[in-house]
Structure 1
Amino acid sequence: MHTKFIFVTGGVTSSLGKGIVASSLGCLLKSRGFKISIQKMDPYLNVDPGTMNPYQHGEVFVTDDGAETDLDLGHYERFIDQPLTASHSVSSGQIYWNLFERERKGEMNGTTIQVIPHVTGGIISKIEAAAKAADSDVMLVELGGTVGDIESEPFQEAIRQFRWSVGPENCIFIHVTLLPYLESSGELKTKPTQHSIRTLLSKGIQPDIVVCRSLKRVGREQREKISLLCNLEADHIMESPNASTLYEVPLLLHQQGLDELVCRMLGIKGREPELTAWRKMVENIKNPTQEVNIALVGKYVELHDAYLSIAESLTHGGAFHSAKVHIHWINADTVTDETANILKDMQGILVPGGFGTRGLEGKIRAIQYARENNVPFLGICLGMQMAVVEYARHVLNMYDANTTEANPSTPYPVIDLMPEQLNITQRGGTMRLGKYDCELVQGTKAQKAYGETMISERHRHRYEFNNEYRERFDASNMRVAGINPGRNLVEIVELTNHPWFVAVQFHPEFKSRPDRPHPLFRDFVGAAIERKKLLG
């Protein structure tokens, strides 16, 4: 069957959950037996989010092939349970960069470069290339931003053109929009949605389905008004209410028949959706039988989206144990010798990745607390590096040990810049990125968690464990538990005299799934639950 296309746009305001709607529909269509792929189109002029401040953009999600992408790709992977690639993340910056390079090389044959047809043509080429590479039955494409944004107009024009190139029978538009609730009058207002759809119509795009985001249930009156004024049948108007967990959204949309409607409109027939395992996972999240407190000690905790995949992975681990994980967001800058008692009620401590020197000493103090008090600990990327620094300082008597990122003159550079990074001046896309193999040491906590000895995980960093100090660590209670076999790089360290203390150079959160939690998050949450039981 030829690939069918679904474009998801947003109106009225940003952060409505277009990505969750697209992901949920992808989940439902996959459960019907279709091969699914999802692509994100971002109108910003950055080439990718790799150099953006986390407070501006949230986390950077990394794919197997090393692309630094929007966090929505994390949602896509978690919902459709398949790895995506660089081709699934497109920005205006990429489109223009490619055009400028071709123009400078003389490949445009003297043509005047214009938004139409060159920018729109570049966007269409990206859609076609991703669909061809994925060989998917259905390709979902989410347009970032909001209808009416100037920077989004080339994308809107591109998908208008695209629909008529593939035929309307092979392509549908879904518009996600806000129905604000006015408490003073007790009403849901449809006017912003009407204006949003009319703006979309002015671009030559008639939405086939509208998904309304609202705090209250959307009644018949609102549906009939939107239907009348926006050229839609009433049963093509869905709602996506606030859910207790985002993983419930596919079930809520399925109850309204969204996946069945999409199949009918695209002329595709699949099996009845198989959602038994998904329902069980949602039930475990909504109705846990126990709870546990885990501290996330980071640099960007004011914006939880900066650690989105970690937070979701903890939820996945909790669901496996039918446990509610209460994440306590602790700013690393606030953790000192005097304030470390804020960790005393935690059954687990997680120190995530990050860049720069701010908050490092607070992370080190939190790690020291976990080590000295037998609190289960998971260190990720910079968290692993700081675990090495903490142990070197306080156990191996290397009092001024540090990472050369923070102190280039440290006498004990236990964490150092990778040699190939020494002469790099360009920051975007130049780190150790993407999937690398890791060989696990038999009998370690990591090996027991994975149940195998050769794994692969995704990376995003410039600094590594300095192998010059490896013998001193291996002779102590902090042992190397995983190594990249190709380059002899340390990937995992563990404490042998601690209930559960594992630190990894890679980012396990990028491969966790709601119905199949990552082994390290699963066992970390399990160890935290055991500690709670032990302490009563």
Structure 2
Amino acid sequence: MSARFIFVLGGVLSGLGKGIVTSSVAKLLKSYGFKVSAVKIDPYINIDAGTMRPTEHGEVWVTEDGGEIDQDLGNYERFLNKNISKINNITTGQVYLSVIKRERRLEYDGRDVEVIPDVVNEIKDRILAAEEDNDFVLVEVGGTTGDIENLLFLHAAREIGRIKESAYILVTYIPFLKNVGELKTKPTQHAAARLREVGIFPDFIVTRSEVRIDGPRRWKISRSCFMDSENIIDDPDASSIYAVPLMFQEQKFGEKILKKFGLEVLKSDMAKWGELVKNLEESDRILKIGLVGKYVVTGDSQHEDVYISIGQAIQHAGAHLKVKPVIEQIQSTDLEKDPESLEKLRKYDAVIVPGGFGASGVEGKIAAVRFCRENKIPFLGLCYGFQMAVIEYARNVCKLVGAHSTEINPETEFPVIDIMPEQKELMKEKKYGATMRLGRYPAVLSEGSQVHRIYGQNEISERHRHRYEVNPNYIEKLEAAGLKFSGRSPNNRLMEFLELPGHPFFIATQAHPEFKSRFESPSPLFMSFVKAALERMPAQKKL
């Protein structure tokens, strides 16, 4: 039997949490035993999110098969506890590039190539490709109703509704005017009207607001949007994104969707999920994690979603260990301006130095690594943080003064981080994409090492997104000075993990293990990191 499609559309404004609604509905349907997948449509012209500034667009999510995707796909994986392919991300750039290439190959038989039907058909084909053996496919359309950018995607959604069993969910914003203490529904009414203009009548409306909507407002939306009031789903601000599926379950949202498709309502299993949410909400053990990043502040704003997957991976571990993690972001350039501010790192139970690119804030990161190493503070370095740990050790333990990455200082006397020779040849040919390690890569772990005990396997895999590597010419010197490269590529050429024996927890990886952490199955490395932080936590905080 072919898959059923559920389109999640946005109204009023962006940033409402369509991705969380999509993920939550997908999780509910999976809890009934159905096979579920999800697609994210991004109306921008870019081919993918790989070249976007994290301070503008947020984190770039990396899939197993090497896709650089909008961060919403990460939530789909975290909620569904499954890998999702890069083909499940569709952008306007991909669509038009494909149409133009097909025209150049004469696949349109020399006729005029037009927006309708050709571009819309390309969109439909890409959405339908996610069908595979799934029972349900959720399709989140980026942007809001009325945007010129997503108009063709709405046309495609409407046309798929003619050939496939489909449902449409409109996620809207209900503003709460505090001066009069009233919720206003007019923006939602207009959003639904704009959808009807393109031939889509929403089956459900999910109302985002600071507070729950009341009876009169529900009735008004029902009457003006031509739907039963029971199909208006309340979605007020929640304590955690993982509480949203439970909130939807209370309103029988999953059952209503199954009834819409004429399906039998089966028994839902959300017990484990509910227990984990309870652990996060009710724990009085507060764990303080410091994150030293370079994309923390731009202008007067602090960007919460640049390192969103790291935060979620820590939350996953916290839910399983019954502790409530609080993550504080520290701008690495601040540590450069005021070295004495490094002392503030002592107040944290553990510190993370995450990934990044470029020169800004590098010395602050290196200083943070050194402080954690010398003061026995649990430390986890990720990707760029792994490289900073190598540079710090080379400079301060191996006494290689000025050791650096050739990404930052091409003339350094001690290039402990460099591009591999075969990558340099590709760079000369301007094949920049081919020099990136993207997606899943295996690592062989040293028996008896800390990371081997953490993963419990000889060979594991994690996802990568980087170009530079540890220079093989310095590995022997670094290890002779006490640093241990405890994970390597199968051919032994690439360093994947390092650790420092004798330190409570000093581990770094060239990979991004946060991309494989799920709410119901946390990353082993993050679990071990949070356990180490708990050990550092003062005794009175553990009670």
TM-score range normalised by the length of the shorter chain: over 0.9
1:208 is aligned to 2:206: no
Mapped contact 1:51–1:428 kept (Cα < 8 A): no
Contact 1:477 1:497 in 2 (8 A): no
Please tell me whether the aligned partners of residues 255 and 265 of structure 2 are also in contact (alpha carbons under 8 angstroms): no
- Could you tell me which residue of structure 1 aligns to residue 180 of structure 2? 185
Post-superposition Cα deviations, 1:419-464, rounded to whole Å, max 9, x if no partner, equal: 3432333555751100011111112111111111111110000001
Structure 2 vs 1, CA of residues 270 and 415 (structure 1 numbering), >3 Å: closer, same or farther?
farther
State yes or no: 1:396 paired with 2:398. Answer: yes
- 1:154 matched residue in structure 2: 152
**Structure 1: which 5+ runs fail to align?**
none
Query: Which residue does 2:360 correspond to in 1?
Result: 358
Superposition TM-score, scaled by structure 2 size:
0.96
Question: Displacement of 1:534 after TM fit?
Answer: 6.6
Within the candidate set 496, 502, 518, 1:491 is matched to 496
Aligned to 2:299: none
Deviation at 1:239, TM superposition (A): 0.9
* 2:516 corresponds to which of 511, 519, 522: 511
Match of residue 171 from structure 1: 166
The CA distance in 1 between the partners of 2:212 and 2:128, in whole Å, is 38
Supply the AA of the counterpart residue of 1:247.
Y
CA distance in 2, matches of 1:255, 1:100: 48
Is residue 50–residue 428 contact of structure 1 (8 Å, CA) maintained in 2? no
CA distance in 2, matches of 1:352, 1:260: 41
CA distance in 2, matches of 1:3, 1:161: 15
- One-letter amino acid of the structure 2 residue matched with residue 64 of structure 1: E
Q: How far 1:105 moved relative to its partner? A: 2.8
The alignment status of 1:121 with 2:116, answered yes or no, reads: no
Superposed structure 1 runs of 4+ greater than 4 Å apart: 426-430
2:255 alignment counterpart: 260
Identity %: 46
* Aligned mate of 1:405, from 394, 407, 415: 407
Is 1:439 the counterpart of 2:444? The answer is yes
Aligned-pair CA distance for 1:294: 1.1
Aligned counterpart, 2:530: 525
| Alpha-carbon shift at residue 267 of structure 1 (Å) | 2.1
Instruction: Map 1:444-463 to 2 at 5 A.
Output: 444-463=449-468
| CA distance in 1: counterparts of 2:253 and 2:434, whole angstroms | 38
Does 1:10 find its partner at 2:10? yes
1:513 deviates by 1.0
Which deviates more, 365-374 or 157-166? 157-166
In the aligned structure 1, how far is the partner of 2:6 from the partner of 2:492? 43
Work out the CA distance in 1 between the residues paired with 2:48 and 2:87. Answer: 12
Q: Are the equivalent residues in 2 in contact too, given 1:63–1:458 (CA < 8 A)? A: yes
Q: Write the letter of the residue equivalent to 1:131.
A: E
1:471 & 1:266 partners in 2: Cα distance?
63
Q: Return the match for 2:379 from 353, 377, 380.
A: 377
Q: Residue type matched to 2:281 in 1?
A: K
What is the rounded CA distance, in whole Å, between the counterparts of 1:7 and 1:225 in structure 2? 24
d(CA) in 1 for partners of 2:100, 2:384:
36
2: distance between equivalents of 1:162 and 1:486? Answer: 47
What is the one-letter code of the residue matched to 2:445?
A: L
Query: Partner residue of 2:267?
Result: 272
Q: TM-score, normalised by structure 1?
A: 0.97
Q: Is the 8 A contact 2:81 2:521 kept in 1?
A: no
Distance in 2 (CA, whole Å) between partners of 1:375 and 1:369 is 8
3-state SS of paired residue (1:488): coil
Q: CA 1:260 to 1:519, structure 2 compared with 1: closer, same or farther past 3 Å?
A: same
**Aligned residue pairs, count:** 531
Contact 1:465/1:490, CA 8 A, preserved across alignment: yes
- Deviation string for 1:487-512 (max 9, x for gaps)? 63110010012110000000000011
Question: Which letter maps to 1:202?
Answer: E
Tell me how far apart the structure 2 counterparts of residues 34 and 43 of structure 1 sit (CA, whole Å).
Answer: 29
